Chains A and B, each alone.
Chain A
Amino acid sequence: MNASPNHRQGNEDQTGSLDLDAAFRDSHVGEVLDELDRELVGLAPVKSRIRDIAALLLIDKLRGNLGLTAGAPSLHMSFTGNPGTGKTTVALRMAQILHRLGYVRKGQLTAVTRDDLVGQYIGHTAPKTREVLKRAMGGVLFIDEAYYLYRPENERDYGQEAIEILLQVMENQREDLVVILAGYQDRMNIFFRSNPGLSSRVAHHIEFPDYTPDELLAIARLMLERMQYRLSAEADAAFREYIELRKGRPHFANARSVRNALDRARLRQASRLLSRSGRIVSRDDLITLEAADIRASRIFSDTQDPNGSGESAS
């Protein structure tokens, strides 16, 4: 090893061995991961994968300092999971994380769907896709509901063209951008089966598990904290019941359903406060959601309705 004694990061001694702790501290990876732990509830497999990636990038950097090169690792990812499991949120964070780890240069997230990539006429698709790719360079390209790119029922569909250009860039300009494909589990599986080239170029297939009721409650508390509301003790219990009931209903969308339920509870709280006699409210009244606000939900009144009314249930 050709270690220099006065290495600029100071985490290397004369024998060429490295102080991992110092390197870890210098890279601020720990802060990034802690933040992730704090702000995202649950998602254990996702976090552990991000931790692995962070470790790899750190070790790669250290190897680079000693002149050992392995080339940039492929970091294209696919996020699969049910609605509301945090795919988009994590993708947003991923851009920041990879930027702070020094893997992408600018760290912007370009979120696109089929409409942004695929054109309407012959010859329209390639420039459109290239335009998006140019914009995404130096950051992360997030393709939401990626399976719409491929429409097997229409053989003259231009989606295939977009996929081919995408593949080329994913392979040749790995250091310029990271592509994240996201979508619902079952349809993504079909999509990857019909595009084996794409599947094999995506190094990280990450599954987003459904949240447990406890995690959903923790998410609700986190959301309320950010909106500067809080649940009273009874409301907390009521909301737990609500989650249990809502989970069994159709169109349950995990954290998204929780957010919608909270928004509706805020509406009810507002009209409850307005309709109250006396019309004097304290700060406490303004920030507290009571059990009544939660229990007014239709979920509690017509639990026997087998069809439900989906996301619009109030």
Chain B
Amino acid sequence: MKLTQGTFSFLPDLTDEQIRSQVEYCLGNGWAVAIEYTDDPHPRNSYWEMFGPPMFDIRDAAGILTELQACRQTFPDHYIKVNAFDSTHGRESLRLSFIVGRPEKEPGFRLERQEGPGRTVRYTTRAYATDRPEGERY
């Protein structure tokens, strides 16, 4: 199951050239680009691990792509995403976030139904991969 989180996630995976153009667009708007990774892709897990600090004073996408290559080498079997943070007063939040790396095999999520009192049903999603400990999931 292909993980669909963030912008462009229903499209085929972006090529490096497309990633470069997107990053170039972010930098052109003065947003700070950061790289994050995780092996716990649950939709509620909004805090992924940061790969290095956010890159505030980079002028050209080549710098970000170098860092992205380093991240892919270090974590070949993790989800990796690029975030663009807009620090403008009143905005101060992410403007763009898209996945740029994913594991070879994505087993997806299991839906659990829990019977509550009366006829209530509570739903939980759980990634199959998270049954194993961190670092051995994909």
Residues in chain A within 8 A of chain B (CB atoms): 105-106, 108, 130, 133-135, 137-139, 173, 176-177
Contacts and interface: CB of A to CB of B under 8 A. Distances in A.
Nearest to B24: A105
B55 interface: yes
A137 B23 CA distance: 14
5 contacts: A133-B63, A135-B58, A137-B60, A173-B62, A176-B60
Contacts of B62: 105, 137-138, 173, 176-177
Nearest to B70: A130
B104 to A, nearest CB: 27
Nearest to A169: B66
Contacts of A133: 63, 66
A139 B58 CA distance: 11
Q: SS class of chain B's interface: helix, strand, loop or mixed?
A: helix
Contacts of A137: 58-60, 62-63, 66
Contact of A105 (B55, B57, B60): B60
Interface in B29-51: none
A133 B58 CA distance: 10
B67 interface: yes
Nearest to A130: B66
A105 B64 CA distance: 15
A133 B60 CA distance: 11
A166 B63 CA distance: 14
A243 B114 CA distance: 91
B36 to A, nearest CB: 17
Given A135-B63, A139-B59, A177-B62, 13 more contacts: A105-B60, A133-B66, A134-B63, A134-B67, A135-B57, A135-B59, A137-B58, A138-B59, A138-B60, A138-B63, A173-B66, A176-B60, A176-B62
A265 B61 CA distance: 48
Interface in B58-96: 58-64, 66-67
Contacts of B57: 135
A161 B109 CA distance: 45
Contacts of B59: 106, 108, 135, 137-139
Of B60, B61, B66, most A-chain CB atoms within 10 Å: B60
A177 to B, nearest CB: 8
A109 B66 CA distance: 19
A94 to B, nearest CB: 16
Nearest to B56: A135
Nearest to B53: A131
A249 B57 CA distance: 43
B24 to A, nearest CB: 9
Contacts of A134: 55, 58, 63-64, 66-67
A106 B58 CA distance: 11
